[in-house]
Chains A and B, each alone.
Chain A
Amino acid sequence: RKEVEQDPGPFNVPEGATVAFNCTYSNSASQSFFWYRQDCRKEPKLLMSVYSSGNEDGRFTAQLNRASQYISLLIRDSKLSDSATYLCVVNRGNYGQNFVFGPGTRLSVLP
């Protein structure tokens, strides 16, 4: 079993739809969590950090459930420009070398 798992998709949704992605992690010692966005053949870019109390950034909402060891990302009012692969990233400990990347979930927003 992979340490960080995501549904690879693709998720094909119409513009304006709400879409949610989940990510599960197996290491209960994981301490920090992020969502990154990766466009085709480009570098990953930080979308948002995920905080224990949940957090929102515009149309994006991230939630963390430590008890069940999963992280979610909700995108409201999807735009064509949201089409990308979304990477769930977990840091096991206090140091950067403990980042573990999920394989990503591909989203296509259709006109």
Chain B
Amino acid sequence: NAGVTQTPKFQVLKTGQSMTLQCAQDMNHEYMSWYRQDPGMGLRLIHYSVGAGITDQGEVPNGYNVSRSTTEDFPLRLLSAAPSQTSVYFCASSSGSGGNQPQHFGDGTRLSIL
């Protein structure tokens, strides 16, 4: 009963390094998304996907890339890490594209950029 699985749980990077945050779901959900959460702020949408092969930008996409080659996986790539990207990252999924379906979250990746 895995749900949404994110790896790694913690990561420390140096400025300029690149890395990929992994997200996988086993619920056959069409919709997947990436958020970042910073102190005192709500979750902000980075990128989302409404199905395999389809991705689009959210509110704060700069510095991040995504791809969706399968229904299950939705990795988030940091191209050249910056201290401003220090945050907690959550991946979420929901069934269908209906907005009345709640999102299910992974347990997060805590990322620090030095």
The reply on A68 being an interface residue by CB < 8 A is: no
Q: Are B99 and A34 in contact (CB under 8 A)?
A: no
Would you give the shortest CB distance from A27 to chain B, in whole angstroms? 12
Q: Are B42 and A97 in contact (CB under 8 A)?
A: no
A97–B99 alpha-carbon span in the complex (Å):
8
The reply on A4 being an interface residue by CB < 8 A is: yes
Would you give the shortest CB distance from A34 to chain B, in whole angstroms? 6
A93–B88 alpha-carbon span in the complex (Å):
26
Residues of the A chain whose Cβ atoms lie less than 8 Å from the Cβ of B110: 41
Q: Are B40 and A49 in contact (CB under 8 A)?
A: no
Would you give the shortest CB distance from B26 to chain A, in whole angstroms? 16
A43–B108 alpha-carbon span in the complex (Å):
6
The reply on B74 being an interface residue by CB < 8 A is: no
Q: Are B48 and A96 in contact (CB under 8 A)?
A: yes
The reply on B53 being an interface residue by CB < 8 A is: no
Q: Are B31 and A4 in contact (CB under 8 A)?
A: no
**Which residues B68-114 have CB closer than 8 A to chain A?**
88, 90, 94, 97-108, 110
A101-B107 contact, Cβ under 8 Å, with A94-B99, A96-B101: no
Residues of the B chain whose Cβ atoms lie less than 8 Å from the Cβ of A93: 99
Q: Are B100 and A91 in contact (CB under 8 A)?
A: yes
A101–B45 alpha-carbon span in the complex (Å):
9
Q: Are B56 and A97 in contact (CB under 8 A)?
A: yes
By a beta-carbon cutoff of 8 Å, the part of chain B in contact with chain A is: 31, 33, 35, 40-45, 48, 50, 56, 58, 88, 90, 94, 97-108, 110
By a beta-carbon cutoff of 8 Å, the part of chain A in contact with chain B is: 2, 4, 8, 31-32, 34, 41-46, 49, 87, 91-104
